[in-house]
Amino acid sequence: MALALFLLLLPPLSPPQVEMRLDPRPGPEFTLILDGPSGADSGEFRGRASLNGSPSELPLSGRAESSGGRLRLTATARYTDVPADWLGRFRPGSFDYAVRGEVAGKEVSWSGTMRWNEVPVAGEGLASRFLRLGSLELTALSPKRTEGRGVLNVSNPFSFPVRLSAGSYRIQVNGEEIGGGGARERVASGKRTTGVELPFSAEERRFLAAAGDHWAVGAPVRAGLSGSLTLRLPSGDVSIPLDFSTTMGTDGARFGVFSHPDGGSSLSPH
């Protein structure tokens, strides 16, 4: 009880001195929006940023707008200029930042600590910017072997490689779970898109029940893939959620599966 009263008497946490927003727009550059206290006037900004005490800095350039003793900075940076040293210093919970530069001859210097969840991301988020489910296919359908595979396209815009550790995922057909699998470890090379194979196994009866009585062998079905992919960083593993809605092809499951003739009421094997 005494602890509860003590917590109530504590002053509320003040908002961060500097506000940040990240816009991972398509292309070779991303946008970083910063808003903090400053006596500088509006004008062109040139500066650098550092993460978690790294001596390697990221060049920034953009436009600053002054209002009411605060400066709103909209800066761009190139993905390929992000230092590889930042990867080894990454912390999943929070980060230390330092931004310094000049606007119209006046110095701008901000530093502090923030949590990653305090930084809004424009658009649909970072995962959708760099991860895309290229395909999802059923390749075998029988009582003894029902399986398939997906291909996850991972775009790495940085200049350094990133290791992707084994993840786990579940497969749904028409909203019903039919099976799942795990991915092998891969290395996503810098400045490239890497295809990560996502094999899965399922049960024939569960697939047929989910596909419905009117499913035709070779016809696509509404499907989903959900789970996680793991980035293996020097500082520890980081889990990235996967959640895709797509269409599953079933042409590869024709072997050993019998289709009803045209006009049949059911095209399932049973």
Q: What is the DSSP string of 59-117?
A: EEEEEEEEETTEEEEEEEEEGGGS-THHHHT--SSEEEEEEEEEETTEEEEEEEEEEGG
The count of structural domains within the chain is 2
Note whether 20 and 64 are same-domain residues.
Answer: yes
Residue 171 falls inside a structural domain: yes
Task: Assign residue 59 the CATH number of its domain.
Answer: 2.60.40
Note whether 161 and 89 are same-domain residues.
Answer: no
Domain that holds residue 104: 16-118
Task: Assign residue 196 the CATH number of its domain.
Answer: 2.60.40.10
Q: What is the pLDDT of residues 218-259, one digit of tens each?
A: 899 999 999 999 999 888 888 899 999 999 999 888 754 433
- Quick check: 253 and 141 in contact, CB under 8 A? yes
- Of the residues 89, 118, 147, the one at which a domain ends: 118
pLDDT average, residue stretch 167-186: 95
pLDDT average, residue stretch 33-54: 96
Q: What is the pLDDT at residue 264?
A: 34
- Of the residues 98, 118, 138, the one at which a domain ends: 118
Note whether 186 and 225 are same-domain residues.
Answer: yes
Alpha helix (H) residue ranges in 35-136: 85-88, 126-130
Note whether 138 and 190 are same-domain residues.
Answer: yes
Model confidence, pTM: 0.80
Note whether 78 and 144 are same-domain residues.
Answer: no
Q: What is the pLDDT of residues 93-138, one digit of tens each?
A: 899 999 999 999 999 999 999 999 999 998 766 677 899 999 999 9
Residue 267 falls inside a structural domain: no
Q: What is the pLDDT at residue 99?
A: 97
